[in-house]
Amino acid sequence: MVHLRQLWLQNFRNYSSEEIIFSKGTNVLFGQNGQGKTNLLEAIYYLGSATSFRGAPVDALIKKDFDTAVIRAEIEHEERDLLVEAEISALRQNTIAINKQKIRPIRNLVGLIPMTIFGPDDLTLVKEGPSNRRTYIDELLIRTHPKYLKKRTDLEAVLKQRNAFLKQTKGYLSREGRETLSVWSEQFATLSHEWGELRKKTLITIQELAQTAYTSLAGTKEVLELTYTPSWLERGLLSLLNESENDELRRSTTLIGPHRDDIEICFDGMPARTHSSQGEQRTIALSLRVAGHHLLHEIHKTKPVLLLDDVFSELDAKRTERLLHLLVADQTFITTATEPQIIEENAYREIKNGKILN
């Protein structure tokens, strides 16, 4: 069980100094837009990831005219009491400590406080370009085990070095340069193959979970398919890199690999991005998030804390009820700009101008 008992915020986003006690079960955070509801969820999520789920840079997380923000929380996890303290600084390296012990490297934080975030931007998983779907599966992989963050970091580092070298050549390779490029290509191909296989394996599990979630949410039996079959994973990336060498030299960038892949989402045999209605796309996106939540539950043997940011505003009553039934958690945080009617909350608080009113 994961239970966030108490949270302190200092100079985080639009919060100057706030302290709040949370109940187990469902906590509803009510308020008009722009008052700080999502900021509060962002602070909670930061404690389990050391990142903003909105992709915000450090300076955006710190209140204007200050150099440092602090997030502190008392959390019960598997009958163990944790004091989690995060310092976000514009002047020095950010830090996170658990029971006064700094987490180094930060990737060791993965899985210690499992959380799942749902937000209004989830529709981009289905509706927009490949990068959103790559981010979905890669972030999910990283949250399953700390070692995957290192694998991902190593892959990104080699890709960056290879691209820098391609740019440096200015379209011409000497004999020595060809040998250097070969070294980077071999490293990139090895790391890419490992990451591609991890994506492929995880997506098989995700598809099964997402199909079950979609059927439950929609109450219908359409078939949801996730397809990840990059040609380089079947043929071998190194040979394809050699074939595209001239194009890569001309364009000064790596043209093939996991950084350019897509995960195709099909709905009843047709591409969901172009052939599904917005309501169907939204339900598919929710199904993918539900699938990720259940995967983390299976792996960590703990129900992740649920953060639901304005998820219900575009769902009808039946789908809202079905979603709440699917998302099993010991503690849930829900933000809403409208009075909750279907939601049975254990605690209800209004937020206004970065203040908790009740």
CATH of the domain at 99: 3.40.50.300
Average of pLDDT values for 247-269?
96
Same domain, 10 and 27: yes
Q: Do the Cβ atoms of 254 and 188 come closer than 8 Å? A: yes
Amino acid at site 127 = K
51-83: pLDDT as tens digits = 899 889 999 999 999 999 999 999 998 888 999
Task: Please tell me what DSSP assigns to residue 2.
Answer: E
pLDDT band at 339 (very low <50, low <70, confident <90, very high): low
pLDDT band at 88 (very low <50, low <70, confident <90, very high): very high
Distant-in-sequence, close-in-space partners of 76: CB < 8 Å, separation ≥ 6: 1, 2, 3, 5, 82
pLDDT band at 276 (very low <50, low <70, confident <90, very high): very high
Exposure class string for 114-139: b at 16+ Cβ within 10 A, else e: bbbbbbeebbbbbbeeeebbbebbbb
- 6, containing H or E segment: strand 2-12
Same domain, 269 and 170: yes
How far apart CA 144 and CA 158 sit, in angstroms, is 23
Average of pLDDT values for 272-285?
92
Same domain, 153 and 264: yes
Same domain, 145 and 285: yes
Same domain, 21 and 110: yes
Same domain, 266 and 162: yes
Q: How far is CA 247 from CA 93, 228, 243, 252, in A?
A: 39, 25, 9, 8
Domain residue limits at 52:
1-114+302-358
Same domain, 287 and 330: no
Task: Please tell me what DSSP assigns to residue 268.
Answer: T
Last residue of a domain, one of 253, 270, 299: 299
pLDDT band at 87 (very low <50, low <70, confident <90, very high): very high
Same domain, 110 and 3: yes
Last residue of a domain, one of 277, 299, 321: 299
151: CATH:
1.20.1050.90
How far apart CA 94 and CA 100 sit, in angstroms, is 15
Same domain, 310 and 290: no
SS3 assignment, position 113:
coil
176-218: pLDDT as tens digits = 999 999 999 999 999 999 999 999 999 999 999 999 999 999 9
Using the predicted structure, report yes or no on whether residue 340 has a pLDDT greater than 70. no
Q: Which two tokens stand for residue 43?
A: 């602070």
Same domain, 287 and 309: no
Q: Do the Cβ atoms of 138 and 125 come closer than 8 Å? A: no
316-336: pLDDT as tens digits = 778 888 888 888 788 999 998
Same domain, 282 and 313: no
User: How many domains, the chain?
Assistant: 2
Is the N-terminal amide bond of 105 cis, ω within 30° of 0? yes
Using the predicted structure, report yes or no on whether residue 277 has a pLDDT greater than 70. yes
Amino acid at site 340 = P
pLDDT at site 4: 94
CB atoms within 10 A of CB 80: 9
Same domain, 200 and 311: no
Q: Do the Cβ atoms of 24 and 331 come closer than 8 Å? A: yes
pTM value > 0.85: yes
By CB atoms closer than 10 A (0-12, 13-18, 19+), residue 345 is middle
Using the predicted structure, report yes or no on whether residue 358 has a pLDDT greater than 80. no
pLDDT at site 77: 86
Closest CA to 6 of 64, 84, 109, 94: 84
Last residue of a domain, one of 299, 330, 346: 299
By CB atoms closer than 10 A (0-12, 13-18, 19+), residue 313 is exposed
pLDDT band at 341 (very low <50, low <70, confident <90, very high): low
